[in-house]
Amino acid sequence: MAQELSPLPFMKMHGAGNDFVVIDRRAGGAPVTAALARAIGDRHRGIGFDQLAVIDADDEAAARLTFYNADGSTAAACGNATRCIARHLMDETGAAALTLRTERGLLAAQDTGDGRACVNMGAPLLDWQDIPLAEPADTLHLPIDGDPVATGMGNPHCTFFVADADAIDLAAKGAAMERHPLFPQRTNVQFAHLIAPDHLRMRVWERGVGITLASGSSSCAVAVAARRRGLTGPRVALDLDGGRIEIDWREDGVWMTGPTAHVFDGVLTPDWLAGV
């Protein structure tokens, strides 16, 4: 006789329109699989998300986070989800600061008030083998049409600085660049233009997802690339399709600040889970 499945609670959150399903496993529960992530990510037959985040207990940090893309692949970093979950846990405990464990290591987070939170996403990876690239290359000037910059933020990023980010065919160019042979693990793709020395406009194609309204790790990568190119200083505001994210590249890492939203709670039914 098949084991009867239990309902699976979840939370729906977003940071500047970058939306997540969050499953809290701190009290236990069945493991999350790539197949389950793909099924939940289906916006017609599941719930839909840009990333799925799984919260597990951790001995040293407030929690350990694992991230899945909509295609079922995993991501080492997801900045907006990290901020949203940090804010949720700080509201839960009353703490003003905490640390979360991700594949990037222990990340510090702080409550900045007004529904906002900031997180230290760690030091950027700038050497070709760390991003990683398929072969040695100047990460500040990749040998690709458009002269993009490569940055690692726990996941690979390819940033193009253009005259007008809004004029770019993001669907076509993002999809093509995601699978460029120079990026063996595929890449996130950004197109950005300078508004002022502390202000950028950017749009995002996320690896394993597609066009998203915002991306925290992409915002970090664009800010790092802009500073390396001499376009901006260490602090910059980035206007994405879903809202504004602020980046401060400090000696201890790249700090990202932005809005968080806990939209609703729900339960996946046993009947639906049985079909996954």
What's the confidence (pLDDT) of residue 72? 94
Rounded CA-CA distance 152/268 in Å is 35
Cross-strand partners of 107: 100
What's the confidence (pLDDT) of residue 3? 60
User: Quick check: helix, strand or coil at residue 100?
Assistant: strand
| Pair 212, 48: CB distance under 8 Å | no
Domain segments of the chain as ranges:
8-121+260-274, 149-251
Domains 8-121+260-274 and 149-251 share a fold: yes
What's the confidence (pLDDT) of residue 77? 85
Q: Give Cα separations from 1 to 4, 44, 216 (angstroms).
A: 9, 31, 45
| Pair 40, 80: CB distance under 8 Å | no
| Pair 118, 109: CB distance under 8 Å | yes
Q: What is the pLDDT of residues 202-230, one digit of tens each?
A: 999 999 999 999 999 999 999 999 999 99
Angle between helix 216-228 and 79-93 (nearest 10)? 120
The parts of the chain modelled with pLDDT lower than 70 are 1-3
Q: Classify 149-251 by CATH class.
A: alpha beta
Domain 8-121+260-274 has CATH 1.10.3720.10: no
Secondary structure in 3-state letters for 251-275: CCEEEEEEECEEEEEEEECHHHHHC
Determine how many CB atoms are found less than 10 A away from the CB of residue 103. Answer: 14
Rounded CA-CA distance 138/155 in Å is 18
Q: Give Cα separations from 248 to 83, 89, 222 (angstroms).
A: 15, 23, 12
Give phi and psi for 236, each to the nearest 5: -150, 145
pTM of structure:
0.93
